[in-house]
């Protein structure tokens, strides 16, 4: 990486906003940004000789403060990451397409990439179209099932769309044009987000090429010493040679990206430490890279609850990031239900709220008169906005309010259908519903197992029809109860619901 830069910079003053425009020196192949400052009163042109690199607060310090830093391969990364003007880093994180959507376990990777992006660095998301064919043994007790080509291509397309959409909301907030597609809500793909697929360079690789260009630099002793490998070798299932080579594949990815894309930092979860250091070691051995042009690795903690269990699983399975797999409403509800013991920590690691604001909110939770779930509501709003955009958040809030038992919000068919995939449902003929006893319908729809259970909850005031509490056992379904002539919503308390579609 070149270290020569032009010595000129231009400053304009107009308000307190800062802009960075690219400038290409005529005698250099490099492009680097120069600061432009505008104020209301003056417009000046300055020429400066031998200007020192402009620095900002280290993104490493930000990550550390928020609990998003586990390990770094070299402490020099702290100071290097501060120079975002003349020498921005290029950072990558890998995502294997083992499913058609990313899930909550992948969210921290996107958040850490976003912090680098917001701090003025360049980021790359790498989809493992090749490595997914092998399977990462890190954190796994069994070998991953093999995926066919059609499934991998479908998964890759779905994940790329999610990555582009989410990272597109993570532009530097100091830039005036920080919105995607200029619509002010960040609900679109951003062409500046770089997404690559490692299958593009592995598909032409032969075994002999691999052995010659990568294998001869690998030391079996070092490979076996990696924690992910050691644990599997000690287990009853053992490890296949295919999985054993995974760290070399990921290591070569780093080498390829370093040589061809200028990537000099790889990030990943703490379970990726062995794979990341395999890459830095391979680059050092093959290219003898040292000093200012060295590569770096960074890991962040895995997403765990305070009791040590994984955060990201619900009773129904993974918490998907794609709205095609999990509605914004249900995504929002998951974060709204975070335990008090975890909510402040999750505000720090899963949102971009200022630390001072989070500390203030934490203080509020300890005061008399604190409204329960206030912190959870803020967490749910911020994370839903980041993953699903303003439109997704509005959809989640609208459904949350409308579907709250006892809510005065009038339900319509569109709102109910918006949660159709998130609640149990059944289809009944019109004449099976009209004039039917609510007690009988509550059993035939599957909301209750017995009529006695319905009557018991009804007496306790916990039975709702379209969010309106029902007090009488004699209630029968009227034509006006069928929302838009299409659906009914039955609720037992706050959480248990059944959607009845009129066939």
Task: Report the distance separating Cα 103 and Cα 314, nearest Å.
Answer: 12
Give the pLDDT confidence score for residue 431 in this predicted structure: 87
Contact 426, 432 (CB under 8 A): no
Helices (H), 351-499: 355-365, 374-402, 413-417, 430-433, 438-444, 451-459
Give the pLDDT confidence score for residue 315 in this predicted structure: 57
Distance set, CA 240 to CA 229, 246, 282, 400, 488 (Å): 10, 10, 22, 48, 53
Give the pLDDT confidence score for residue 379 in this predicted structure: 97
Give the pLDDT confidence score for residue 22 in this predicted structure: 44
Give the pLDDT confidence score for residue 140 in this predicted structure: 55
DSSP string, 48-99: -SSPPPP----HHHHHHHTT---EES-TTHHHHTT--SSS--EEEEEE--SS
Which helix (H) or strand (E) segment holds residue 144: the answer is: none
Give the pLDDT confidence score for residue 406 in this predicted structure: 62
Contact 320, 326 (CB under 8 A): yes
Task: Report the distance separating Cα 160 and Cα 155, nearest Å.
Answer: 9
Residues 6+ apart with CB under 8 A from 56: 82, 84, 85, 119, 120
pLDDT in tens, the chain (503 residues): 444 434 334 444 344 344 444 444 444 333 434 343 333 333 333 333 334 444 457 899 999 999 999 999 999 999 889 877 778 899 999 999 989 999 998 999 999 999 999 999 999 999 999 888 876 556 555 556 677 889 999 999 999 999 999 998 876 444 333 343 333 344 445 557 899 999 999 998 888 988 888 888 888 878 887 777 877 788 777 788 777 888 888 999 999 999 999 999 999 999 899 889 989 989 988 888 665 458 999 999 998 877 777 776 665 678 999 998 988 988 999 999 999 999 999 999 999 999 999 999 999 999 999 999 999 999 999 999 999 999 999 988 888 877 776 666 667 777 777 666 667 888 999 888 999 999 999 999 989 999 999 999 988 888 998 888 898 889 999 998 888 888 888 888 877 888 898 87
pTM of the predicted model, to two decimals?
0.75
Task: Report the distance separating Cα 405 and Cα 464, nearest Å.
Answer: 7
Give the pLDDT confidence score for residue 338 in this predicted structure: 92
Give the pLDDT confidence score for residue 288 in this predicted structure: 80
335 phi, psi to nearest 5 deg? -75, -30
């Amino acid at each position: 990486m070149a270290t020569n830069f032009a010595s000129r910079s231009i400053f304009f003053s107009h308000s307190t906003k800062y802009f960075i425009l690219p400038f290409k020196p005529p005698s250099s192949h490099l492009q680097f940004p120069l600061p432009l400052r505008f104020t209301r009163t003056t417009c000046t042109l300055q020429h400066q000789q031998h200007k020192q690199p402009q620095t900002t607060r280290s993104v490493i310090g930000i990550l550390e403060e928020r609990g998003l830093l586990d390990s770094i391969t070299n402490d020099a990364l702290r100071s290097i990451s501060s120079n975002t003007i003349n020498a921005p880093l290029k950072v990558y994180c890998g995502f294997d397409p083992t499913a058609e959507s990313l899930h909550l376990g992948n969210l921290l990777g996107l958040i850490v990439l976003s912090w680098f992006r917001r701090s003025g660095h360049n980021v790359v998301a790498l989809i493992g179209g090749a490595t997914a064919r092998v399977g990462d043994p890190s954190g796994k007790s069994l070998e991953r099932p093999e995926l066919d080509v059609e499934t991998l291509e479908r998964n890759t397309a779905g994940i790329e769309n999610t990555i582009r959409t989410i990272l597109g909301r993570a532009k530097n907030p100091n830039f005036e044009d920080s919105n995607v597609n200029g619509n002010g809500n960040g609900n679109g793909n951003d062409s500046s987000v770089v997404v690559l697929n490692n299958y593009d360079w592995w598909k032409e690789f032969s075994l002999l090429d691999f052995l010659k260009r990568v294998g001869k630099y690998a030391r079996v002793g070092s490979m076996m010493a990696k924690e992910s490998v050691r644990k599997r070798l000690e287990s009853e299932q053992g490890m296949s040679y295919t999985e054993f080579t995974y760290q070399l594949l990921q290591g070569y990815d780093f080498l390829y990206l370093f040589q061809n894309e200028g990537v000099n930092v790889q990030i990943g979860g703490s379970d990726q430490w062995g794979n990341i250091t395999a890459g830095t070691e391979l680059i050092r051995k093959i290219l003898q890279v040292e000093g200012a042009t060295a590569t770096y690795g960074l890991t962040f903690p895995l997403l765990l609850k305070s009791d040590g269990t994984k955060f990201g699983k619900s009773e129904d399975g993974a918490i998907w990031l794609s709205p095609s797999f999990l509605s914004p409403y249900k995504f929002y509800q998951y974060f709204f239900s975070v335990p008090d013991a975890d909510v402040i920590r999750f505000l720090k690691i899963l949102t971009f709220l200022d630390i001072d604001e989070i500390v203030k909110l934490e203080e509020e939770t300890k005061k008399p008169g604190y409204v329960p779930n206030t912190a959870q509501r803020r967490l749910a709003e911020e994370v839903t906005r980041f993953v699903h955009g303003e439109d997704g958040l509005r959809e989640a809030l609208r459904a949350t309010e409308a579907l709250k038992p006892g809510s005065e919000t009038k339900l319509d068919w569109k709102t109910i259908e918006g949660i159709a995939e998130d609640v149990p449902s059944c289809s009944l003929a019109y004449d099976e519903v009209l004039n039917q006893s609510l007690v009988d319908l509550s059993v035939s729809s599957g909301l209750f197992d017995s009529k006695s259970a319905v009557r018991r909850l009804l007496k306790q005031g916990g039975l709702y029809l379209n969010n309106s509490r029902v007090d009488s056992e004699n209630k029968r379904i009227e034509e006006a109860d069928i929302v838009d002539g299409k659906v009914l919503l039955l609720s037992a308390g706050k959480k248990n619901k059944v959607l009845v579609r009129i066939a």
